[in-house]
Structure 1
Amino acid sequence: MTDKSERGAQSPGLPCGSAASSGLSRRRWIEAAFGGALALPLAGCQADTERPRGRDGWFVPGEPFPVRRVNRERFEPTLRPTIVANVTGQEPGSILIDTAGRHLYLSRSRDQALRYGIAVGTSGYAWKGSATVGRMARWPAWYPTDEMRRDAPGIPARIPPGDDNPLGARALYLYRNGRDTLYRIHGTSEPWTIGTQASSGCIRMFNEDVIALYDQVHVGMKVVVP
């Protein structure tokens, strides 16, 4: 279920780039999101906790690019993967996106769902409706839109797969009536945005979470954004 075409993995015009910027440097944000020494005023921040012992424990194994585990203590507890009662009203084997609550629900049975924290589109970029997973890709390339390249002169026409790619480690391509909606569920190189309105319409997840979700999803799975 892996896309082998990089250009197919990111159609030109896709509204998945960052719709928000910060005056803080990328390094400082990364230190906060991943449990570095510098504490920043993120929503729900708590005191730093002991890191996993051993360098290998900081990274998701088996990936071609480094996926450093997020320090969950820096984020709201509700953004952690959690098994919850299935209140989605959806059949098992489907996904519901709660944009207001910043959660993605994977229905596992009529009684049980797996909940993940997400980032959603900013005002004016929100998408609603139903779709299906039309394609899936591991470490896709990203092609900025013409508008993004106008706003940020010098940005490359293609961002190759890697830990700085805005689509992150995995991407699920949402289709409706056999046509690409240009909306995605994907990982992110900006983990600090999870729990916020940050994207240009797509659904972002922590890379380690989208890797786990990817292994539970199949082409044709229903996705609902009420």
Structure 2
Amino acid sequence: MKRRVFLTAASAAALAACAKPQPEPQPLEGHEIPLLPARYGAITDEPYPVPAVPEGVVPPELLRQEVDNPFPSYEAGTVVVDPDRALLHLILEEGRALRYGVGVGAAGFGWDGDAVMQYKRKWPRWTPPDEMVARRPDLEPYSIANGGMDPGPGNPLGARALYLFQNGEDTLYRIHGACEPQYLGQAVSSGCIRLLDQDAIDLYDRVEHGARVVVLKSLWKNGARGLF
């Protein structure tokens, strides 16, 4: 993974993009979308409610599903992110993988290589970096000094977060929930890898501490990538 100066504007933008207010999801035009599987319904046994994914918004190619492993050189338990296709694969045994649709960073193609999932959190707090707070005074209540934003609805990290480290240092990049369904499969943030909360919960339960995370090098230069 190409190490950048994560503690400056790039790192701030990576989290800031997650915090933007977003429009309501709208049904896709020109797509015949089948009914969602029950696993994308509302989750009511969490500390905070997770709403159902709206029907007709997410293309079926981006729904969680088991597939043939497209990355046979990686051992089971490895997480492989393909930013150009907006897909995350968790490698399984016997030539299989779990595939998840993700939202990726519009500037995320510069981030590629290996990381380690150092730790993970349920309903994490969000603490915008001081550099972001300096530019966005409205975020001062959630600063590091003030203890960050409480977990729950509206928190940019959603129901789960996996924290990525490289060479023992926090990259400030996360794999996390709270991806708005209408942005799944698109490159609209500045770095974090975002899933639907239902998928973030599922991935959290499967990924082991210390798991290898591989972010593939993007071949796109204009930022216009994703499946759709």
Common fold: TM-score over 0.5: yes
Asked if 2 retains the 8 angstrom alpha-carbon contact of 1:142 and 1:160, the reply is yes
List gaps (5 residues or longer) in structure 2. Answer: 1-6, 217-228
| Residues 107/189 of structure 1: CA separation in 2 closer, same or farther (3 Å cut) | closer
Partner of 2:111: 127
Partner of 1:60: 43
Report which stretch shifted further, 139-148 or 198-207.
Answer: 139-148
Q: 2:62 aligns with which of 34, 59, 79?
A: 79
In structure 1, how many angstroms separate the alpha carbons of the residues matched to 2:37 and 2:205? 26
Q: Which amino acid aligns with 1:204?
A: R
| Residues 98/71 of structure 1: CA separation in 2 closer, same or farther (3 Å cut) | same
Secondary structure, counterpart of 1:198 in structure 2: strand
Q: 1:169 aligns with which of 159, 162, 166?
A: 159
Question: Displacement, 1:175?
Answer: 1.2
Q: Which amino acid aligns with 1:177?
A: N
Q: 1:138 aligns with which of 122, 141, 146?
A: 122
More helix by share: 2
List gaps (5 residues or longer) in structure 1. Answer: 1-10, 33-38
Pairing 1:184-223 to 2, within 5 Å after superposition: 184-188=174-178, 190-223=180-213
Question: Displacement, 1:106?
Answer: 0.4
Once the two structures are superposed, what CA deviation does each residue of 1:35-58 show, in whole Å capped at 9, x if it has no partner?
A: xxxx45x57754796997xxxx94
Asked if 2 retains the 8 angstrom alpha-carbon contact of 1:169 and 1:187, the reply is yes
Asked if 1 retains the 8 angstrom alpha-carbon contact of 2:35 and 2:55, the reply is no
Asked if 2 retains the 8 angstrom alpha-carbon contact of 1:20 and 1:198, the reply is no
In structure 2, how many angstroms separate the alpha carbons of the residues matched to 1:125 and 1:87? 20
2:17 aligned with 1:18: yes
| Residues 81/165 of structure 1: CA separation in 2 closer, same or farther (3 Å cut) | same
Q: Which amino acid aligns with 1:113?
A: A
Q: Which amino acid aligns with 1:217?
A: V
Normalising by structure 1, report the TM-score: 0.77
| Residues 148/81 of structure 1: CA separation in 2 closer, same or farther (3 Å cut) | same
Q: Which amino acid aligns with 1:61?
A: T
Report which stretch shifted further, 180-189 or 143-152.
Answer: 143-152
Partner of 1:113: 97
How many residues are matched?
Answer: 199
Question: Displacement, 1:123?
Answer: 2.6
Question: Displacement, 1:182?
Answer: 1.4
In structure 2, how many angstroms separate the alpha carbons of the residues matched to 1:50 and 1:225? 28
Q: Which amino acid aligns with 1:154?
A: D
Cα RMSD of the aligned pairs, angstroms, is 2.9
2:148 aligned with 1:149: no
Secondary structure, counterpart of 2:161 in structure 1: strand
Question: Displacement, 1:148?
Answer: 3.0
Question: Displacement, 1:177?
Answer: 2.0
Q: 4+ runs of 1 displaced by more than 4 Å?
A: 11-14, 42-52
Q: Which amino acid aligns with 1:180?
A: D
Q: Which amino acid aligns with 1:103?
A: L
| Residues 59/173 of structure 1: CA separation in 2 closer, same or farther (3 Å cut) | same
